[in-house]
Structure formats: structure tokens, C-alpha cells
């Protein structure tokens, strides 16, 4: 009997240890979300994938980086089998930027290397991520959701330039310069 009691006691103690570990993780996650505004991207916005190329926002001419009238820097990207349109986007560092993505065909996913940007791109929805890039340079943006035979070839470049070197045109658009 006393042996069984010991077992129960040690199991309860171990339960407390695991509860404490989970609590510590939850405190970190809540702190990051509330204090540092690091949250999973969440945006429920529907769009018809069948005529994405004819929509007001994701027409070919409207893709890429644009500084909106209110100063907000937004990059619009279409993820399609098996390429990003455009293949390279330029964005300023140390500036709040918004990425808006949509897919006309199958589920894709993106991440930008060395950053916390990471989202799925589901046909029928607009994925939106707000972030601030701290590092400059060419960052790799691959598709991270298997989307077909050409999946491994599907990648783009996010060119983060210093704020002072970000020069959008008169129409507010900025594109990667040919290297």
C-alpha cells in the first residue's frame, strides 16, 4: 500500500512539473503577443480565386510594392504554380510593412528566411502579414507548402533596403532594380 502511495505521489509531483513547464511557455507566448505584438497572422478576407487576375487588387499592374496614400508600405504578391508574381519585391527596413498574398490555384505557403514572417496562402482568401524588417539584404522567400511537381523551384526574393535607400516612384511603386 505504501509503495502505491509513493507512486501516486511521485506521479502527482511530475504532473506539477509538466503543468509548470506549460505555464512558463504560455506566459512567454502571452507576453510576446500582448507586449511585443508578435502574433500569428490572422486575416479572414475572401476573394474569388477564379478571377483573381481581374480583381481590383491583384491585377498584374497592381502587384509588387506600393506606398499607399497614407504612407503605408504594402506588397501584393500572387502565389501560383510554380512562381511568385513578382519574383522579387523591394521593401524598406525599420518600417512597418504589410504583405498581402493570394493564390488562384492551390494552397501555397510562404516564409521569409531570418524573419518571423510565415503564413499559408489559401485560394479564396487574402493572407496578410504585418512586420518590420530589421536586417537589410536579399532574403529568400520559398513556398513552404507542397503545391505540386514544381514546388521546389518556387521561390522569390525579398530585397530589404535601408530606409534612406528606398525610393518609390511618383506613383508610389517600387520594384527590384536589375542586378
Partner 1 sequence: MGDDDGLTDDAVKEALRETPKGALALAGLTVGLLMLAWVAIYVFVFLPRGPVG
* DSSP state for residue 42 in the 8-state scheme: -
Cis link prior to 82 (omega < 30° from 0)? yes
- What binding mask, one character per residue, do residues 81-120 give for partner 1 by CB under 8 A, x or -? ---------------------------------xxxxx--
Count of residues engaged in binding partner 1, rule: CB under 8 A: 31
For residues 116 and 112, what is the distance between their CA atoms, to the nearest angstrom?
7
- Who contacts 128 (Cβ-Cβ below 8 Å, separation ≥6)? 41, 43, 45, 98, 99, 100, 101
- Nearest-CA neighbor of 163 among 122, 141, 133, 120? 133
Span interacting with partner 1, options 18-26, 53-61, 84-92, 152-160, rule CB under 8 A: 18-26
Across-strand partners of 100?
Answer: 76, 128
| Contact positions with partner 1 (CB under 8 A) in 27-66 | 28, 32, 36-42
Class of residue 99 by CB neighbours under 10 A (exposed 0-12, middle 13-18, buried 19+): buried
Smaller CB separation from partner 1, 80 or 127:
127
Nearer to partner 1, 134 or 163 (CB): 134
Q: How far apart are CB 176 and partner 1 at their closest, in Å? A: 22
- Taking the least distance from each CB to partner 1, the nearer of 39 and 62 is 39
Mark 116-145 with x for binding to partner 1 (rule: CB under 8 A) and - for no binding: xxx----------xxxxxx-----------
With respect to partner 1, which residue has the nearer C-beta, 20 or 165?
Answer: 20
Cβ neighbours of 154 (radius 10 Å): 22
- Under the rule (CB under 8 A), what is the footprint of partner 1? 3, 6-7, 10, 13-14, 17-18, 21, 24-25, 28, 32, 36-42, 114-118, 129-134
Amino acid at each position: 500500500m505504501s509503495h502505491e502511495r509513493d507512486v501516486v505521489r511521485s506521479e502527482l509531483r511530475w504532473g506539477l512539473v509538466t503543468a509548470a513547464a506549460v505555464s512558463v511557455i504560455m506566459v512567454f507566448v502571452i507576453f510576446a503577443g500582448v507586449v511585443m505584438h508578435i502574433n500569428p497572422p490572422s486575416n479572414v478576407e475572401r476573394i474569388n480565386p477564379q478571377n483573381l487576375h481581374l480583381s481590383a487588387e491583384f491585377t498584374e499592374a497592381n502587384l509588387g510594392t506600393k506606398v499607399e496614400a497614407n504612407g503605408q508600405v504594402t506588397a501584393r504578391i500572387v502565389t501560383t504554380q510554380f512562381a511568385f508574381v513578382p519574383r522579387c519585391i523591394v521593401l524598406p527596413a525599420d518600417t512597418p510593412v504589410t504583405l498581402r498574398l493570394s493564390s488562384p490555384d492551390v494552397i501555397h505557403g510562404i516564409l521569409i528566411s531570418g524573419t518571423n514572417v510565415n503564413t499559408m496562402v489559401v485560394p479564396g482568401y487574402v493572407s496578410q502579414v504585418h512586420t518590420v524588417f530589421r536586417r537589410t539584404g536579399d532574403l529568400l522567400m520559398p513556398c513552404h507548402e507542397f503545391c505540386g511537381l514544381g514546388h521546389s523551384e518556387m521561390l522569390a526574393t525579398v530585397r530589404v533596403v535601408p530606409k534612406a535607400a528606398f525610393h518609390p516612384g511618383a506613383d508610389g511603386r517600387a520594384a527590384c532594380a536589375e542586378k
